[in-house]
Amino acid sequence: MIAKASAPAKTILFGEHSVVYDEPAIAGAVNKRAYITIKESKSDKSIFRAPDIGFEAELLSKQKKYILTKGKPGIIRYILESLYRAHDHSPIDITLSSNVPIGSGLGSSAAVTVATLAALYRYHNIRFNKKSLAHDAHMVEQAVQGVASPLDTLVSTYGGLVYLSRNKKVEHFKVNFNAPLVVGFTTKHGNTGKMVKDVKNLKNRNPKIINPVITAMGNLTNYAKQAILKKDYNKVGELMNINHGFLDVIGVNTLELSRMVYNAREAGAIGSKTTGAGGGGSIIALCPGKVDEVANAIARDDSILKVRFTRRGVSSRVYK
Ligand SMILES: Nc1ncnc2c1ncn2[C@@H]1O[C@H](COP(=O)(O)OP(=O)(O)O)[C@@H](O)[C@H]1O
Ligand SMILES: C[C@@](O)(CCOP(=O)(O)O)CC(=O)O
Ligand SMILES: [Mg+2]
């Protein structure tokens, strides 16, 4: 039997980091995906392969350990944690293929986790629905990273553009927000777990300064929700620029991220900001009528990815 699943990457429009402190956030699934295939192993060992990133390891799922044969560790922790929760430890082959850049703020960890759990549930014929899958995937991210909001795993599971409220209520935008976005990313990777910890430490050292900023980031997200519903792109852009400033305050921007953000604005983007955890990774630029100008300006020093929002969330099936 072969089980296959795939799940989309995402981009956070508003509310990264503040969402960890229960502030609202807005994120959308994009048309880049992680694909997982699970089949019985031909040997008595479980093997995980990710040829796109040159990764291979033998899995000791019972002990939550692995023996690396090729590549560098990292993303495998999400696979192991998923196996630990949803696998009976019988020998299997797991293959990951993905066109989501890893550690770039596009939620590769969530896409891989959602796809792995969905494939495992199919493989073992375990009943699940989107609600339970999003919940379980969030538990995996939390276990691996220490702290994680449910945002990335929610978006990867459901697809579409999602608003997560202060009390963790999920709203799916019905409006078709199809303004063109350019993603710029650097070769420097961020690490979500570390960035979340850094923000927490900054907040603990300077509570009177950082706490109101986190609250303001949440208020800004709520204004953005209204602007999106009205398709007021100029307002959305203005709020993205303010959000980038807040991300500077909490210390997650880098020289490369800010360079891309300002290159995008100079080339005509009406809004641009870091997206995801920062410390490396990606920016998004909102640029109606100026996609090529903005893409070319970012591409002078960094890499670009043209993405669009997609309503397609997780999908999975078994082949007997
Ligand atoms: N080349 C690589 N091979 C394997 N794992 C990697 C590689 N580069 C980064 N990683 C790991 O992938 C994970 C990416 O997750 P995260 O930091 O949440 O970023 P994102 O979800 O935005 O891609 C991290 O655990 C990181 O250590
Ligand atoms: C910083 C944070 O808000 C988003 C992280 O996104 P990413 O892993 O960089 O794609 C953390 C979280 O929501 O769990
Ligand atoms: Mg992640």
Q: What is the pLDDT of residue 9?
A: 96
Amino acid found at 283:
I
Tell me if 197 sits within 8 A of 181, measured CB to CB: no
Give this prediction's pTM: 0.91
Helix (H, G, I), strand (E, B) or coil at 309: strand
Mean pLDDT, residues 4-27 taken together: 96
Mean pLDDT, residues 296-318 taken together: 93
Query: How many whole angstroms separate alpha carbon 169 and alpha carbon 257?
Result: 31
Least confident residue range of 68-77, 108-117, 208-217: 68-77
110 alpha carbon to ligand 3 midpoint, in Å? 6
Instruction: Using alpha carbons, select from 222, 301, 227, 215 the residue that is nearest to residue 270.
Output: 227
Enter the tokens of residue 98.
């993905």
Site to substitute for ligand 2 among 30, 144, 192, most atoms within 8 A of C-beta: 192
Mean pLDDT, residues 172-201 taken together: 89
Percent of the chain with pLDDT over 90: 79
Q: What is the pLDDT of residue 74?
A: 86
| Residues with a beta carbon under 5 angstroms from ion ligand 3 | 109, 192
Q: What is the pLDDT of residues 184-195, one digit of tens each?
A: 998 888 888 899
181-307 belongs to CATH 3.30.70.890: yes
Amino acid found at 56:
E
pLDDT at 286 over 90: yes
Instruction: Using alpha carbons, select from 196, 190, 111, 104 the residue that is nearest to residue 152.
Output: 111
Query: How many whole angstroms separate alpha carbon 261 and alpha carbon 50?
Result: 32
pLDDT at 82 over 90: yes
- Residue with token string 């950082």: 210
pLDDT at 114 over 80: yes
313 labelled binding-site residue? no
Q: Residue 276: CB within 6 Å of ligand 1?
A: yes
Query: How many whole angstroms separate alpha carbon 243 and alpha carbon 237?
Result: 10
Tell me if 274 sits within 8 A of 123, measured CB to CB: no
Q: What is the pLDDT of residue 267?
A: 97
Q: Is 279 left (phi over 0), alpha (psi -120 to 50) or beta?
A: left
**Domain ranges across the chain:** 2-174, 181-307
Q: Residue 149: CB within 6 Å of ligand 2?
A: yes
Candidate list 152, 232, 292, 302, residue with the active-site label:
152
Query: Fold for domain 2-174?
Result: Ribosomal Protein S5; domain 2 (3.30.230)
pLDDT at 90 over 80: yes
The ipTM of this complex is 0.93
Percent of the chain with pLDDT over 70: 100
152 is catalytic: yes
Q: Residue 48: CB within 6 Å of ligand 1?
A: no
- Residue with token string 């850094």: 198
Q: Angle at CA 197, nearest 5°, toward 191 and 202?
A: 125
Residue of the CA atom closest to atom 12 of ligand 1? 75
Beta strand extents in the chain (DSSP E only)? 2-14, 25-40, 46-50, 55-60, 65-70, 92-98, 161-164, 170-172, 181-185, 271-275, 282-286, 303-307, 315-319
